[in-house]
Amino acid sequence: MHRFANPARFTRIARPLTAWFGWSGLVLTVIALTGGLFVTPQDYLQGQTVRIIYIHVPAAWLGMAGWAGIAMSSFAQLVWRHPLAHVAARAVAVPGATYAAICLVSGSIWGRPTWGTWWEWDGRLTSMLVLFFLYLAYIALANAAGREEGGQRIAAIFGIVGAVNLPVIHYSVLWWRTLHQGESISLRGSTIDSAMLWPIPLAVAGFTLIFLSVALMRMRTLLADAKAEARMRRMAAA
């Protein structure tokens, strides 16, 4: 892992990967959404509204995966003192918050014709909303910390503690029987018909690659800002 601790070495690897992840993710996303919106059949109960699943499911997955990335980077920062760990956590936070917001908005749009309401204080919805607010709090905390080691350590602790919400989101449909449906896709299989299922893995893969591309782009930007700031300090001290 420490092979990539050198910012210059990391940047050389991240630059081509940023473009590769971005374009590959865009292609997969277009294929998935085209298939989901125009090829797959409509649901016999929900009709055309079920098609929002091809945005909602990958957004929900990446909203949770983003915080898992923050927690793992924060752990690496506290335990191994990895020099890029805090940068990675900050880079992941913004796309993670964006996907969490997309999940909430698309779920609300989906819930209006399905449940008859835009919002319900359901276990899954509420815990996902908490995750979005955790993202906002982490972004504010990390930005306030800047390059101060003490502030970065506090942000890392917050990133690890906030991960407690992830199992709450995952198991909420089992712990509280409310409006939100149970798991449709799991390791044991899927309750979704295969004719409607196939675009979902493509959408998840496409959204994930775009997520990684944005995260790498943000890491490179943060490293460039740090390098420019260090150069300006040296010039001021000269």
3-state SS, the chain, equals: CHHHCCHHHHHHHHHHHHHHHHHHHHHHHHHHHHHHHHHCCCECCCEHHHHHHHHHHHHHHHHHHHHHHHHHHHHHHHHCCCCCHHHHHHHHHHHHHHHHHHHHHHHHHHHHHHHCCCCCCCHHHHHHHHHHHHHHHHHHHHHHHCCCHHHHHHHHHHHHHHHHHHHHHHHHHHHCCCCCCCCCEECCEECCCHHHHCHHHHHHHHHHHHHHHHHHHHHHHHHHHHHHHHHHHHHHHC
pTM value is 0.91
| CA dist 86 → 13, 19, 43, 152 (Å) | 18, 23, 44, 7
Q: What is the mean pLDDT of the chain?
A: 88
Would you state the pLDDT for residue 33? Answer: 96
* Phi, psi values for residue 50, rounded to 5°: -65, -20
Would you state the pLDDT for residue 180? Answer: 66
**Assigned domain for 71 exists:** yes
Would you state the pLDDT for residue 117? Answer: 86
Would you state the pLDDT for residue 235? Answer: 73
Cα–Cα distance measured from residue 127 to residue 95, given in angstroms and rounded to the nearest whole number: 18
**Total number of domains constituting the chain:** 1
**Assigned domain for 56 exists:** yes
Which positions of the chain have pLDDT values less than 50?
1
User: Residue 149 is part of which domain span?
Assistant: 20-38+47-179
**Assigned domain for 155 exists:** yes
Would you state the pLDDT for residue 38? Answer: 93
Q: How many CB atoms lie within 10 A of CB 109?
A: 15
**Assigned domain for 125 exists:** yes
Would you state the pLDDT for residue 189? Answer: 65
**Assigned domain for 70 exists:** yes
Would you state the pLDDT for residue 186? Answer: 61
